[in-house]
Amino acid sequence: MLPVKSIGLLMPPRYFLLIVLLCFCCSAIATDNNIKEQVETLLTKMTLPEKIGQMVQINAFGGKIPDELKQRLREGRIGSMLNEVNPQTSLEIQRIAVEQSRLGIPLIMARDVIHGFRTIFPVPLGQAATWDAELVKQCARLAAKEATSAGFHLTFAPMMDIARDPRWGRIAEGFGEDPYLASVMAAAMVHGFQGDDLSAPNTIAACAKHFVGYGAGEGGRDYDTANIPQGLLRDVYLPPFKSAVQAGVATIMTSFNEINGVPSSGNPFILRQILRQEWGFQGFVVSDWASMEEMIEHGFCSDLKDVAYKSITAGVDMEMQSSAYADHIEELVKKGIVPQKLVDDAVRRILRIKFQLGLFEKPSPYSAKQSTKPSEAALKLAKTVALKSVVLLKNEDGLLPLSKEVKSIAVIGPMSDDPYEVLGTWNRDGKIEDTVTPLTAIKNLLGDTTEINFAAGLPYSRSRDKDGFAKAVEQAKKSDVVLIFAGEEAILSGEGHCRAFLDLPGAQNELITEIAETKKPVVLVILAGRPLTIGEISEKVKAVLYAWHPGTMCGPALTDLIFGLQSPSGKLPVTFPKAVGQIPIYYAHKNTGRPPHTRKLMMIDEIPVRAYQSAPGDAARYLDIGYLPLFPFGYGLSYTKFEYSNLQLSSHRIELGENIKVSVDLTNTGQMEAEEIVQLYVRDLVASLTRPVKELKGFQRIRLKPKEKKTVTFNLPSTELGFHNSDMKYVVEPGKFHLWVGGDSQSGLKSEFEVVKSKGKDR
C-alpha cells in the first residue's frame, strides 16, 4: 500500500482533501461511540443515589472541606462544584471524589470566567463594540488557558441575552440589542473556550446563558417577569442560543425569569421542545443559582418536592446550589412519580461531558496552581481588544487626537487612576496590581516632556463630596487641555445592579460642568458597564470617548487612542437613549401606522397655550424629547473619514433559495490609517407579519490607508431574510426589500431588490 503522502501525489488535491475529511469524521464518530459505550457501562454500575449525585452542583466552602462535604464526596452525591479558588483545596476535593468514592467519578469544577480570568478583557458589551469575532474568540481562548491552569473545567459564559433596556445591570455581560451581532459573538466565544476538542489541554466547557429572555425583564429589573410573544422569542431572543448550540456549546443555563407565566427552570417548551427536539442539543442543562428553588416564590411550585418534579420533567439536568434534586428525586422515582429514564438521561448527558473533557483520564485539578501574572502576549491581546472596543462619540473641531508635544495636560476624574473599577463587573480573579490606569499610562507615554496635572476631583464615582473640586479646577486652569475620566464603578452594573436613572452617578456632572466653565478644551472619557444618558454633559465638552469597562490594559489602550497612535474604531452594540423615558429604544423597531420620520412634528415648547385638544398629524414619539436616540446602534466616529460609493447588487430580482452579492466601494478620504466597520441592513417591506424597519445581516471590519479604496463584498442568502410566521414556521416570503450599506444603523447607501417564488415551486 502506498503511503498517504504518495497517494496524495497520484490524485487531484480535492480528492486527497476528501479522504482527510472522511478520516477525520470517522475518527470523530469512533470517539463519540467510544464515549457512549463508556457512559453506558458506567451508568449500569451506578445506584440511584449515585446518579442523583451527578445532578447536584454546590458552591465551595471558601477553601475548606467540611466533614459533611467529604462524606458526600465519598458517597458520590456531588457531581460538580463551583467557585473553589484554592488550588490545594480543589486538588483534595477531586482526590477524595476519585480515590475514595465507589466509582471514582471526578467532579466538574466550575467558575464564572466572564471576560477573562487573571487577564481581564473589556466587559462583553465592550467586546461586542469591537465587532470583531476573531478577537472575541482569542479572548475566550486565553481565558480558558488561564482558568484551566487553575483547575477549572466549566465556565458560566457566554451570556448572550438580548438586552434592549440599559437600566438592566446585566447588559454589561452580553453582546447588546441585536440578535445577529450577538449570535456571531456567542459562537466566537464558544469556539474560543472549547477549541476543537474539549479533551485538549487548556480548553474549558462553555455554558450558554441565560435560557431564555432574561434580558427582557419588565422595567429593566433583574430577575423580573418577561412576556415575550413566541414570534419575538424565536426571531430575537433565541437566535444567539441556537448559534451557540450549532457551535457545539457543552452546556446551557436556565434563566431566573419566567417567560409568559412559566419560569425557565420548569419550562418544558423551551428546554425539551426547542432545545432538545428542534435543535438537537446533546449537552446538559444546569439551573442558575437556586433558580429551581425560586420557582416557589414565583408561585409556580408549592415546595421543593414540586420543584424537583417540575424541573426534571422540564429538562433541567443539574441543579445549582439548591437541594430539590438531592432531597427529593429518589423518593419521586421510587414512588413512580418521576420515571427512572429521566434521571438516566440527565446523568448520561452529564457523564458525556465529563468524558469529553477527559476528566477520567486526566482530571485537571490535579495540576491546579495559583494564577501567575499575565504574559506579555496576554497583555498585548488585552490592549488590542480594549483599543478596538472604544467608541468615539464626539470630536468637535478635531480636538482628538492630542499631540504628544502638548505642554500641559490636566488628568481629572474618579476613574483616572483607579485600578479596580476599570476591570468591570464579574471580575473574580483579576488583580489590581496587573492594571495599568489611564494616569499611569499617560505618564509612561509622555514622560517628563509634558506637565501632567492630576486631581481626582471625587474619591469615587458615586461620591457627592465636592471638597476636591477646587483642586481639580485649579489643575484644569493651568493646563492646555483637560482629560476627564468619569463613569460608573464596576459594582453599579452586573447582576442585581439595575438603575432607574442612567446619568453619571454622584457629583460627576457638576465636576465636569465646573471644569468646562474654565473654557479649556475638554476630552471626556466614559468608563461604564452600560449606556449612560450623557447628552447634556457631552454638549459641554469637545470630545467624548466611550470606553466601557476596558480591563487590565485600560490605560495603554486609551492613551494610544487619545494621542493618535491608533484611531478609534469601535461601534455601538446598543442604542444610546437621550433619556430614560425613551426606553425601550432600539434600532430594529416596528414602523407603526404613524412613523415620526414622515411627519412634521411639534415639540412641547412649540405648542400654543390653551391649544385645542387634537392629535391629527402626530406620530409615535415623545413631545419633549422626540424619537431619535442620542446615538444609534452601530455608531462610532474615526480620526479619518470614510466614504461609501458605488453600491451594487448582483441582481435586483432573485428566486427563493438564491443569494445576492452586495458590493460597495469604501474609501479612506482622510489622512490617517484606520478601520471602519461596514454594516449591511435590510428591511422586508410587506409581510404576513410586520417586520422591523431595519435588521442587521452582515458586517466587516476593514482597514484602509489614507486615500486607499477597497471594494467590500457581502453574500446575502435569501434564507437570511425570513422570520417566524403566525404558525411559528420559519418562512422567507416573496416580496420587495430595502437594503442599506453604511457605517451605522441610521446611515448608508440604499438599494432595493425583490424575492420571487422559485419557478415551478410553491414555497
Question: Rounded to an integer, what distance in angstroms lies between the CA atom of residue 176 and that of residue 185?
Answer: 10
Query: 613 CB contacts (<8 Å, ≥6 apart)?
Result: none
Q: Are 128 and 161 in contact (CB under 8 A)?
A: no
From 82, 105, 615, select the one nearest 361 (Cα to Cα): 105
d(CA 735, CA 730): 16
CA 633 to chain CA centroid, nearest Å:
15
Place of cell 418544558: 268
Q: Are 166 and 502 in contact (CB under 8 A)?
A: yes
Three-state secondary-structure class, residue 327: helix
Residue with the three cell numbers 479604496: 709
DSSP 686-749: S-SS---S-EEEEEEEEEE-TT-EEEEEEEEEGGGG-EE-TTS-EE---EEEEEEEESSTT--E
Q: How far from 415 is each of 143, 283, 390, 423, 430, CA to CA, in Å?
A: 25, 42, 15, 11, 18
Identify whether the C-beta of residue 603 lies closer than 8 Å to the C-beta of residue 560.
no
Contact of 516 with 541, CB cutoff 8 Å: yes
CA distance 275 to 316: 11
Please give the positions annotated as active site: 288
Nearest to 157 by CA among 121, 111, 224, 200: 111
Q: Give strand ranges (E) for 536-578.
A: 543-546
Q: Decide if 293 contacts 324 (C-beta within 8 A).
A: yes
Q: How many CB atoms lie within 10 A of CB 10?
A: 9
The backbone torsions φ and ψ at residue 340, rounded to the nearest 5 degrees and listed phi first, read -55, -30
141 near 193, Cβ under 8 Å?
Answer: yes
Q: Count Cβ neighbours within 10 Å for each residue of 323-352 and write b for 16 or more, e otherwise.
A: bbbbebbbebbeeeebeeebbbbbbbbbbb
C-alpha cell at 208: 450558554
Q: How many residues does the chain have?
A: 763
Contacts of 118 (CB under 8 A, 6+ apart): 146, 371, 372, 373, 374, 378, 429, 430, 431, 434
The order of strands in the sheet holding 749-756 is: 653-655, 749-756, 735-742, 674-684, 695-704
CA distance 392 to 370: 38
